[in-house]
Copies of this chain bind each other. A is one copy, B any other.
Amino acid sequence: MKIQPLFDRVLLKPIESKENRASGLILPESTSERPRLGVVVALGDGGETDGKPTKMYVKENDIALFSRYGGIDVKIDEEDYVIVRQTDILAIMEEN
């Protein structure tokens, strides 16, 4: 069974700080206001509002920097995930 997010929602698998350090981006756990990193696991098709489609700018496997606020925690098969709206994703981490 898999999760299919609705509208512009994105399911993220948070990345631990250790992995972050390896990628050159350090987001210490002690600073709770800092945004988090996560891998895009699944996403909605944007849906539509007032008859206008919402474009999705992220795709599966993207590494997303997302705000700690607005995310909803979900546990699937003993693992932690977060569901956010696309607008709560601040940036995508790209390879140089």
Contact = CB atoms under 8 A, between A and B. Distances in A.
Nearest to A49: B50
B94 A1 contact: yes
A52 B50 CA distance: 6
Contact of A76 (B24, B51, B58, B92): B24
Interface string A21-56: 001111110010111000000101001111111010
A11 interface: yes
A92 B1 CA distance: 10
A20 to B, nearest CB: 10
A48 B55 contact: yes
A96 to B, nearest CB: 6
Contacts of A83: 35, 65, 90-91
Contact of A6 (B9, B33, B77, B89): B89
A75 B3 contact: no
A72 interface: yes
